Structure 1
Amino acid sequence: MAQISVLITGCGEGGIGEALAREYQKRGCTVIVTVLPWESNTHLVSAGMTCFELDVTKEESVQALARNVQKVAGGKLHILVNNAGICYTMTGIDTDVQEVQKMFNVNVFGPMRMVREFHPFLISARGTIVNIGSVGGIVPYMYGSSYNATKAALHHWGNTLRVEMAPLGVKVITIISGNIGTNILKSDSARKLPEGSHYSPLAKEFEQHVRRVPATTPRDVYAARVVPQTLNSSPPAWYWVGATTGIVRFMDIFGFRTVWDYILWPVFNLGKLRKETELRRVNDKL
């Protein structure tokens, strides 16, 4: 049996991609990983992995990667893991749309570019596409409307892609990830609400939110659970894994559509915001 070849995007140090790569390698797969042009690859190369630079927002970068993978994998790719992703934390009304466009370019259009370029490799190997989703695409978490939107888009794109690729012999699995122990939140840890925001009464709460250290599932535990599912000859359409996914899945199946409104209201202290808003309305009338 030919060795299974795996390509994973977004394998910077300390992230999900690196953990997945190590787990695939432990299972005897040929692992091809990518990092951004300015990121170190020492943690990957020292482990014996084949590493290339990749910026999923650039067509030419994806095409160059395809040429390199052709040399390494010989035109066949058994598993493509669309893992590269970034986050942006802000209220919906204070959103910098240019920041959101950047995030969609990575989180949604990146996987689209990868599939467009690598589908011949996957069809040739009767392979599997793995999209790394998030509970954010299910739950209306405060301050995450834009990030949540990218993951919801990825989920539904994956759903449709699964139907379209089935006749071609390619499987598609979406991983609904809970809170995983990575460094993805660090880039937003210094973010503040803009001056004059209607959410200014929650400025302190917002800063605490972006600096939060949530309860998480360790990356290696996550990878050990995800990888076997992607190697399955009949993988599930969605695979839920990680902290919080149990309650989220239960509520998504059995809860009413606005159940999260009631759950998140006290968590994010929205009563305080309502009180301050009403007080401001009264003062404006005086």
Structure 2
Amino acid sequence: MVPEHPTNGAKSLGHEGRRVVLLITTPVGESFQSIAQITGYQAPPASPIDFTSYENSALPDLASRLRFTTHYALCVIHRELWESTSVSLLQKFRGARFWDHPGDFTMMSPSRSSRSNSSMIPASLNACQPWSDGDIYNIDSGEVIGQTDISDEEITRALREDWTYMPIFWNCHDLAIRLAYIIVRPSTRVIRVLKRLMRSLRRACNTEIKWVRTAGSVCIGGWGVGVLGGIASVPPLAMAGLSVFMVGWSVGFFGGIAVNVKENTRYKFMIKLEEKFPQLKSLHNGA
């Protein structure tokens, strides 16, 4: 039987943690799939996961199926449930709660996760949610990051608010990784694991997205026109991200400039987060 979620207050991060924190991946949504098609990237076929298994090892780790063109979410499960050898993976994930960014519409791109019905869905709707069996069966990898005693409410407040979304440069990967780091018990292992993941995702981005080729395809397809059409209504904070996005998808001549502007804007976003969450400096340093 799946244990109920406790209602008592959360302990500090220094405690061992009664709940397990995982990062999990699922296929991306239709709009991001169109980007993948433009770039010509084809994800290698993955063998199905046996969700009837009672062994957690049946869930492939993140590195074994790592790619940039995928959706990341944070998953929290009671430790007793996760460590049980008499409960299937499906039952364990049925008892979990998930946090993820749905790729809401921010005038960067109508991008959405595979679980979003519309790019207009507010990001807050994907906080502390149970997943349907269909969503669970879409999980293609996952990994335990650490443990926590932070309450669902505190997790939701931690990083879900006012997140400026950019589908390539500042997306669901960035949110899920940083949210995991904020809520788990701190350790050098956690920093090492998450830094390695961040670096691997950036390398995968460069491998999967051929910027020069993609720029021409997008411009010819008229994709840039749709983005330009919404500039007048973009909020000030999002304008910085929009400028990066537009440069990033411009002609190949501007490729070097795009990378520099992209990195500078990403850096500013990280600094802004550090003002609210000083502990992120350890994660960002050298990442």
TM-score, length-scaled by structure 1: 0.29
Largest Rg, 1 or 2: 1
Which structure shows the higher helix fraction?
1
TM-score where L is the length of structure 2: 0.29
Greater relative CO, 1 or 2 (CA 8 Å, sep 6+): 2
